[in-house]
Each structure stands twice: as C-alpha cells, then as structure tokens.
Amino acid sequence: MVQQLVEIFEKANKGFLKEQERFIISDVSERSICGELMKYLTNEISKTTFSSYHVDVEYNRNDGKIKTIRNSEEKIINITCDIIVHSRGESIEQDNLIAIEMKKSTQSQHEKNKDRDRLLALTKDTFDDVWSYDGKTFPEHVCRYMLGVYYEIDIESRIVEIEYYMKGKFQKKYIKQF
C-alpha cells in the first residue's frame, strides 16, 4: 500500500512541477503552492482505490478536536499539516494516508527540522506502543500516516528536495529539477 501511495505522490508531483513551473518561480507563498499541489494529488487519488479519501490543505481536526502529536520530547503539540490525504474520520481502520510538509529553501533550518520532526511523529504507528484498535475510536494523538513527505522548494536553483518518512523513520531523500 505504501508503494502505491509513493507512486500517487510521484505522478501528482511530476504533473505539478511540469505544469506549474511559472507559478512556482513567481515566488508565491507556500500556502498557494500547497493549494496547487493539492489539486494534482486529488486528481491522482481519484483514479485509485483510495478515491473516497480527501486531500486537504491546512486541515487541523481529528474527530472534531484539534489535531495533536507527541513530539520526540513527549510534549503534546497542536499541529496543522500543509497537505494531508485522509478519510476525514470515515475510515477508523486507516484514516490517514499521506502527510506533506512544505518549506521554501529560504526558511530557517530550525523551521525545516520542526517539519521533519512532525513527519516522524505523524508516521509512527502509535505514541505509547499501545493502540487498541476497537474499530470505533481514534488514538488520542494523530499518527499512523502511511507516508510522510518533506517537500522543500529552492526557487533560485529550480529544484525540489523530497524526503520520505514511514513508520516513524526517515526512508530516503532525492532532488528533482523543475
């Protein structure tokens, strides 16, 4: 399933970078770029077995409450992901598919690392190594995203740095030109 999600993201990103190059290099805000990438992800998701899932920008709710995670220091923090693919609570078995955190290369290293830490937490299977799946209840803190994507845009060099996170761990990194 994770490989299928990677392929969905790759197809969406390829079309996005090809068709929206001028938009990206015009130096619009990260939020605007996220909104455009969301459209491509929505299109690709609609062609798959995940077609009932939603792609949202800056979504911050979990079963009606503000989304929280437990970070590496065990602090509970509120979160709002740049882009997520999820069921909006319609599938307790697998609500969360993809979390994307986007940054421009001009952001501080501290801010970039906060996004990476968030993806590590979001892709963990659980926070306390115990999650009793009863088919009715979500975990207290958001987790179990199948795929986390860190997406950094360097407008000047016209490259995107992409990192994948799965099961609470960094998996791989690559650079793509646009």
Query: What is the per-residue pLDDT across 151-163, written as a single tens digit (0 to 9) for each?
Result: 999 999 999 999 9
Phi, psi of 105 (to 5 degrees): -65, -20
What is the enclosing helix (H) or strand (E) of 9?
helix 2-19
**Residue 38 pLDDT:** 98
Per-residue pLDDT averaged across 91-117, rounded?
Answer: 92
pLDDT reading at 148 higher than 80: yes
Coil, strand, or helix at residue 19?
helix
pLDDT at residue 165 is higher than 70: yes
Which residues on adjacent β-strands are paired with residue 99?
A: 84, 148
Question: Is the Cβ–Cβ distance between 95 and 146 less than 8 Å?
Answer: no
* Calpha distance 149→137 (Å, rounded): 26
- Give the pTM: 0.86
In degrees rounded to 5, what are phi and psi of residue 12? Answer: -60, -45
Please say whether the beta carbons of 122 and 69 come within 8 A.
Answer: yes
Cα Rg of the chain, angstroms: 16
Q: Looking at residue 66, what is its pLDDT?
A: 67
**Going from the N-terminus, what domains does the chain have, and what CATH number goes with each?**
2-177 (3.90.1570)
The mean pLDDT value of the chain amounts to 87
